[in-house]
Amino acid sequence: MTTDANSKKVLAGKVALITGGASGIGRASALLFAEAGAAVVVVDLKQQAGQWIVEEIVRNGGKAMFERADVTRADECERAVQRTVSEFGGIHVLFNNAGIIRRASVVELSEEDWDRVMAVNVKSIFLMSRLVVPVMAKSGGGTIINMASGWGLAGGPRAAVYCASKGAVVLLTKAMALDHGAQNIRVNCICPGDTDTGMLRQEAVQLGEREDRFLSESARRPLGRIGRPEEIAQAALYLASQAASFVTGTALVVDGGGLAGSP
């Protein structure tokens, strides 16, 4: 992958921790951040995939580490942060990217699924951020990027808990930006539209729809296609870099125009 970031090294000297970094948007972001000069810590439950990404980064001359952790557990989040600081000396970028989806209405949804989606999509941001904010503040600041969704700004069918969780991420992001701006910590979130990841294909399975038909429906937006993980990663890189030095508390929509007609 050749990018402007590769030549400019806009994250040179920075340490970036990415949750859910072993696949999809997290994987694309880990590779892009490493190209931009950051030391990258991939946090995920998928050990083999996470190790593969680390090996690729190191093979290309970068610095990276994998930490297997369930980001809904406070003790495992603490271990991941402590290991990162011990290995690389600090954390300058936290990308709270881990997320799951359950496609169901409130009457179809189990209590267990509600709790799990809220834990992965929202609680993990709280757990990681409360550990990382003091680390960033001690070193003079940093940037936190939270993964929201277009469905955190507008509702979607049979996605009650997912919409609830992503709406919470949007407002949590704004509240954190207010709380931590004085510490020179910028907090933003990304609201992607449908993106070509394994999670998108899982939605078709959950809804009992044919994958090709589901993906075709997902592409119905002004640009006429679904997004690529690398395109969302570019948005994350922008928010992580000094190019966004005056940007905080925002929800950056990257969706091919999917919400353009929404009020």
Task: State the catalytic residues.
Answer: 162
Nearest residue to 148 via CA among 134, 164, 136: 164
Using CA atoms in the order 140, 19, 75, 116, what is the torsion angle rounded to 10 degrees?
A: 130
**CA–CA separation, 132 and 93 (whole Å):** 9
CB contact set of 103 (below 8 Å; sequence gap of 6+): 158, 159, 162, 203, 206, 207
Neighbours of 133 (CB within 10 A): 20
**CA–CA separation, 99 and 124 (whole Å):** 9
**CA–CA separation, 176 and 186 (whole Å):** 9
